[in-house]
Amino acid sequence: MKRIAVLVSGSGSNLQALIDAEHQNQLGRGKIVGVLSNKSDAYALTRAQQANIDTAIISHRDFPTRESFDQQMHQQLLDWNVDLVVLAGFMRILSSDFVSQWQGRMLNIHPSLLPHYKGMHTHQRVLNTGERFHGCTVHFVTAELDAGQAIVQAVLDVRQNDTAETLATRIHPLEHKIYPQAVQWFCNEDLTWHDNHAYLQNKPLQESLKVCYFD
């Protein structure tokens, strides 16, 4: 069994997709054992409680430095005996020490086609540039923000009348498809990490990035 912790800051619709996938036996050997939020009012916590998953609130405001906040999270993850850390709308930048302790065992979902549009406000920036395509990416987390190896992406056409809000609404269901898939690959050991490189079914991921296209 692979013990999963999900880190959240907000609504938690991706957490919900992962909970639903686990209930439908679609996370392989994965089991969500804890949900950690840096915000006490995150709706994601309610979703976790409804699914009888242990929760922890660790507020970054209670710590003098990023490193001390991250150290407290690290301790909680050790207490849960976690094999995989899943960032699902977790809106804090992580220190390089924390990231290196979970390297190869921490995934994130980002609302853009990485390596394009790292950082915040991706939908508006895609519209401002007049891109034809947009989407989302599940990737391994490395110390550089949104720069780790991509695992799976979902792509959609940008429509003429799209706004940042409609793009967010159209991308969410795609996130809910590809994130459980990537977590299942990890939990079944199809997705592996050795010597700083990611592999999918023993092929270097660089060569086998999965891209799903949606209209």
Cα 103 to chain center, whole Å?
14
Q: Which 135-164 residues touch ligand GAR, going by CB under 6 A?
A: 136
The single residue listed with the structure tokens 């989407």 is 135
Q: Which one of the spans 7-15, 28-36, 45-53, 71-79 is the region binding ligand GAR (CB under 6 A)? A: 7-15
Work out the burial of residue 195: count CB atoms within 10 Å of its CB; fewer than 13 is exposed, 13-18 middle, 19 or more buried: exposed
Residue 110 contacts ligand GAR per CB under 6 A: yes
Residue 37 contacts ligand GAR per CB under 6 A: no
Q: For residue 203, what are the β-bridge partners?
A: 200
Residue 70 contacts ligand GAR per CB under 6 A: no
By DSSP bridging, strand 133-140 and strand 106-110 are: antiparallel
Contact 174, 136 (CB under 8 A): yes
Residue 123 contacts ligand GAR per CB under 6 A: no
Residue 180 contacts ligand GAR per CB under 6 A: no
Which is catalytic among the residues 110, 134, 139, 176?
110
Interacting residue with ligand GAR among 4, 5, 14, 186 (CB under 6 A)? 14
Active site residue 74: no
Residue 119 is labelled as binding a ligand = no
Work out the burial of residue 191: count CB atoms within 10 Å of its CB; fewer than 13 is exposed, 13-18 middle, 19 or more buried: buried
Residue 11 contacts ligand GAR per CB under 6 A: yes
Question: Binding residues for ligand GAR, per CB under 6 A?
Answer: 10-14, 88-89, 109-111, 136, 175
